[in-house]
Amino acid sequence: MPRRVTLTNRQKEALLRLPFTQAELLAHYTLSDEDLVHIRQRRRAHNRFGFALQLCVLRFPGRVLAPGEMIPEPVVAFIAAQLGLQDAEVSRYAAREETRHEHLAELRAIYGLRTFSGRAAGELRAWLQSEAELAISNEDLARRFVGRCRATCTVLPAISTIERLCADALVEADRKIEARIAIRIPIALREQLLALLEDTVEGRVTRFVWLRQFEPGANSSGANKLLDRLEYLQAFKMPDDALAEVPEHRLTRLRRQGERYYADGMRDLPDDRRFAILAVCVVQWQAMLADAVVETHDRIVGRLYRSCERQSQAGLAAAAASATATLKSLASLCSSMIMAHDDGDPVELAISDAGGWDAFKAIVATARTITEGPADDPLAHVTDGYHRFRRYTPRMLRLLRLHAAPAAWQQRARQA
């Protein structure tokens, strides 16, 4: 039997433990009037307690008490309080093993509980097979199985049986999914997929390994390397329904398995598994590469804008220095003109002493430029980086399938 996936001790305990919080006890271990009628038919106090305890544990977590199992004190106190019993009256339960078996038989007959055998086991195995494709892990499937047993009043089998059933169901689900994907791949496309394991890039690595070696870049060279891989993958004309009816987490698992294999390991896999992994990798790597291209483009735009900001700040710093020098020159010239006016001297003399009319006109022109010119905007320098974008953006726009968001279409419809 396949044992590739097992439950940890913590997961087993979580599935089969008895409740101990007040909320859990109220939800699962509150006895009804009908329950109390059946319980009070036991003559002795400790047997009434034992019968009630067995009933509660069969309901939640849905299993049989193990011989000698330690019962949490909150459980004992909660059940005993409902029966009006004292600690001394409950401590003697199950001194005889026969009593426990008799109680279990009576509980199954009264409440219609089923054991995991025969028809009940067959129904649950079939249900487990249908659920295995949707389960994200062995623990998830085990939780679903336990929940189904409770819902159908079936006593849980041993935890080792649950583990084996879940592992078997997951393996079978893997095989069904792999066969479902593989059968949808045409013969010509199969040959193209197998070439990924044989063709090499520059004689170093196979195409399969080369395709998965990517990460977002930071320049046009990095963008073009990503686009090389994306363009190569887009040559695979995968059928639209190739991955239909396969849960997303199953596809992700197949892709991750493919990313752990080298070409030699892939060649050793069964055909259905190999083609399923290759098909999933081709489809999902395209999406991942598109995301990497967009992120690389964002990084390039960000770097360019930061460069433009630095240029803008440098221009503003130069303008501030020019403004300071111009103001100082104007202040000095105006002071000279005021002194000449107060002394009765010609104003022209002050201007002449300050460098003449040409210098005066230059100061005025500089002042006009400072006051009338716009602030140095970073976007004014963006065109300086055009050469970076023209190296890869035509390919990017051609290879990426870009669509407007629904909100944009709605806005356009309202405007029309």
pLDDT band at 309 (very low <50, low <70, confident <90, very high): confident
Is the bond preceding residue 67 a cis peptide, omega within 30 degrees?
no
pLDDT band at 2 (very low <50, low <70, confident <90, very high): very low
Check pLDDT > 80 for residue 57.
yes
Rounded to whole angstroms, how far apart are CA atoms 306 and 303? 5
pLDDT band at 343 (very low <50, low <70, confident <90, very high): confident
Q: Which pLDDT score, from 0 to 100, does residue 3 have?
A: 47
Check pLDDT > 90 for residue 97.
no
Looking at every residue in the chain, the average pLDDT score rounds to 87
Least confident of 97-111, 171-185, 193-207: 97-111
The number of residues in the chain equals 416
Average pLDDT on 167-189 reads 95
Q: How far is CA 243 from CA 9, 185, 194, 248, 250, in A?
A: 35, 10, 18, 9, 10
**What is the chain's alpha carbon radius of gyration, rounded to the nearest angstrom?**
40
Percentage of the chain beyond pLDDT 70 is 92
Task: Please provide the DSSP assignment of 123-180 as one string.
Answer: HHHHHHHHHHTT-SSHHHHHHHHHHHHHHTTB----HHHHHHHHHHHHHHHHHHHHHH
Q: Which pLDDT score, from 0 to 100, does residue 202 have?
A: 85
Average pLDDT on 47-58 reads 93
Rounded to whole angstroms, how far apart are CA atoms 375 and 397? 34
**At what angle are helices 159-182 and 9-16 packed, to 10 degrees?**
110
Q: Which pLDDT score, from 0 to 100, does residue 344 have?
A: 76
- Which value, to the nearest 10 degrees, does the dihedral of the CA atoms of residues 357, 359, 362, 366 take? -130
Residue-wise pLDDT for 182-213, tens only, equals: 999 999 999 999 999 999 998 889 999 999 99
Rounded to whole angstroms, how far apart are CA atoms 21 and 180? 46
Average pLDDT on 234-259 reads 95
More confident residue, 3 or 44: 44
**Nearby residues of 158 by Cβ (< 8 Å), 6 or more positions away:** none
Q: What is the pTM of this model?
A: 0.78
Check pLDDT > 70 for residue 1.
no
Average pLDDT on 315-339 reads 76
Contact indicator for 200, 206 with CB cutoff of 8 Å: yes
> φ, ψ for residue 154 (rounded to 5)?
-105, 130
